[in-house]
A = this chain, B = another copy of it.
């Protein structure tokens, strides 16, 4: 199986030229005659030369791969984000090195440490916690170009691309107000991630403006998961209180988990209570009832993040950009009663 390693030297010998020439042919630099070039290519082919990207990276001080660190790849929102990023990177001839911080600051730190050890030219990161991620992130950004994506740590001075949460929540609140909603519950993840924080704050102020009540005891926090959505549904039903007119969830997973549990317990969505999600993951449209949610401009977010990272890699000292892109409300059945 594992034959003797084939290097440029092997190929050079076979083709009867120097290693420099082999390298020139293979990297496509100019100044190699057609015949020589052909001879080298033939030799490379014959020996099944496959290059050594490590050596190349060492010499050129650039690996052609980009690290991406997300809180949880099992969250479909991040999965889609990763897919988009991967797509844009591929177009730029870059490889993706994907890591999962498992929503743990400690794991995040470990990953950042290994990524900053030379294996990547730059990092896209969605930090776990607005505060507790700061130290590791700062350290990493002293070593390698970093762009924050989706979630962010404001205290670390890097580029950031993500959603305009304030605008997004305004769209949702406005939509609910239009349908006559007067009281809402808000189900979210425990404070810590910037997304959760921003969304709650924005929901509060938008609801206030529109005359929608959002009592403190109807703000429930757990995490971004189906499981928590279901638990929150139980919480609301078991509290003894009347259900609000609507339940705003800070992501689709929560909304789907919650909607499922409500159905099991005989509560009809949207007739008994309206429900909104956030992100527009694939399953949102296929759930029964289909979920009204806020679609994030994923393609654009990914494209901008990749672009900014490339700029960062090229020239270190640029003014940092903060890019808040606008989402789009997708109205579906979970907020639409017959006659609405």
Contact = CB atoms under 8 A, between A and B. Distances in A.
B74 A119 contact: no
A95 interface: yes
Nearest to A281: B74
B119 A316 contact: no
Contacts of A137: none
Kindly state the interface size class of chain A when it binds its partner. Answer: 35 or more
A118 to B, nearest CB: 4
A10 to B, nearest CB: 15
B317 A1 contact: yes
Interface string A97-122: 11110000000000001101111000
Interface in A210-228: 226-227
Interface string A109-140: 00001101111000000000000000000000
Interface stretch (A77-85, A165-173, A299-307): A77-85
A257 B286 contact: yes
A118 B53 contact: yes
B50 A58 contact: no
A113 to B, nearest CB: 8
Contact of A54 (B1, B58, B98, B317): B58
A86 interface: yes
A201 interface: no
Contacts of A142: 1, 3, 48
A51 B282 contact: no
A53 B63 CA distance: 11
A94 to B, nearest CB: 10
Contact of A117 (B2, B51, B287): B51
Contacts of A116: 50
A95 B100 CA distance: 11
A324 interface: no
Contacts of A73: 73, 79, 82-83
Contacts of A52: 58, 117-118
Interface of A: 1-3, 48, 50-55, 57-58, 63, 65, 73-74, 76, 79-80, 82-83, 86, 95-100, 113-114, 116-119, 141-143, 226-227, 230, 256-257, 260-261, 263-264, 282-283, 286-288, 316-317
11 contacts: A3-B142, A52-B118, A53-B117, A73-B73, A79-B79, A82-B100, A86-B100, A96-B99, A98-B98, A257-B286, A263-B288
